[in-house]
Copies of this chain bind each other. A is one copy, B any other.
């Protein structure tokens, strides 16, 4: 698999790149890079409504992404956005502003990424809506008792499927069940789960699901919102422009009926074509086996780091992601990351766009190792070896 990813041949400071920043963004296989290259070199044109050959090819390429998304995730409606963040903002504007009113409540969790917090804070301020944050417990799980207690009066539940900081997979089936029994819709932030699991959207039962291509081997600049037919019917247009309208006159406009209603302007054509290939690539991976493999590496790594005196923030249950967030008792995280980079190890430090979670954990940030399917156990072992050397020389 590794030879399909050209960047994995790269050297950093004379050492082979060991890319452990996959929760931030994943690398791209040749098939994805080449498809975009080929599009720009052979088929580039604007989509929809045009008659010429290139426009036909571009339109088919763009729409193939929607088909691939619907097929992979078993969804009826796939709106293409610029990423998870825009997908969530789309729900806030297109669904939230039309379906919520003064005094309604939205449930969030303390584990949310800023992208699933800030849009709701802005909406809450505009519409006088109450935000209820479900706390994260000492064992790094959500307090489900408090969730059940908080559900009354809530119209929407926004929950991260897998935490990008902890790798913890939340009990979303249960959350969806409780929410629906209480008449609340559910938005799933699947930015971290879509790359790591086979998700059946219709079966899972969420109303909205947001995720980004770049975290699942696809290009930057594109993502999607899956929506059930019912929720789709409740959505009002968000951004206005070309492609999302049926007719425009100076007296008023009418809108498209399908997903294009929410895709104003020239869409992300090359990106859609690249993403289609990334989905094909993911379809070809035995995700269950690969997930088990990298999760075991993560468990091993967590233990090694604990033995070296690190504080590790992870659970590593079977559905959790292969993410290891940790802190050195005294050494500054960015210093550590600089030293790791000196030998080619790419890890992330900082607040990971999840400050409320860190506030609950009473820390400012972590060092985060996040694995993906192209990572090997040997890489993890070499990480531990070098990490041990750093500890001996610097700590």
A-to-B contact residues, CB < 8 Å = 6-7, 10, 12-13, 17, 19, 21, 24-25, 27-28, 32-33, 36-37, 40-46, 49-55, 82-86, 88-89, 92, 110, 113-115, 117-122, 131, 133, 212, 214, 219-222, 237, 239-245, 247-250, 252-253, 264-271, 334, 337-338, 340-341, 345-350, 353, 355-356, 359
A85 touches B265 (CB 8 A): yes
A220 touches B269 (CB 8 A): yes
A37 touches B44 (CB 8 A): no
Complex CA gap A362/B146 in Å reads: 63
A240 touches B53 (CB 8 A): no
Complex CA gap A86/B268 in Å reads: 12
Q: 5 interchain pairs (CB within 8 A)?
A: A21-B46, A25-B44, A25-B266, A84-B265, A212-B266
Q: Out of B7, B51, B270, which one reaches A44, CB within 8 Å?
A: B7
Complex CA gap A264/B113 in Å reads: 12
Q: Out of B85, B88, B241, B350, which one reaches A266, CB within 8 Å?
A: B85
So how many copies of this chain end up in the complex?
Answer: 2
Q: Out of B53, B241, B268, which one reaches A119, CB within 8 Å?
A: B241
Q: Which residues of B contact A245 (CB under 8 A)?
A: 114, 118
B114 touches A239 (CB 8 A): no
Closest to A87 in B: B265
Q: Out of B33, B84, B340, which one reaches A40, CB within 8 Å?
A: B33
A264 touches B13 (CB 8 A): no
**A349 → chain B closest CB, angstroms:** 6
Given A21-B46, A24-B46, A355-B249, A118-B52 contact (CB < 8 Å): no
Given A44-B28, A52-B341, A222-B221, A121-B253 contact (CB < 8 Å): yes
Q: Which residues of B contact A42 (CB under 8 A)?
A: 6-7, 10
Given A42-B7, A240-B119, A253-B117, A264-B346 contact (CB < 8 Å): no
A51 touches B341 (CB 8 A): yes
B221 touches A85 (CB 8 A): no
**A155 → chain B closest CB, angstroms:** 19
Complex CA gap A19/B21 in Å reads: 42
Given A33-B40, A118-B240, A270-B220 contact (CB < 8 Å): yes
Closest to A365 in B: B49
Given A21-B50, A249-B359, A356-B249, A82-B241 contact (CB < 8 Å): no
Give the 7 A-B CB pairs with smallest separation, nearest first. Answer: A85-B265, A118-B240, A115-B241, A85-B241, A52-B346, A221-B268, A51-B337
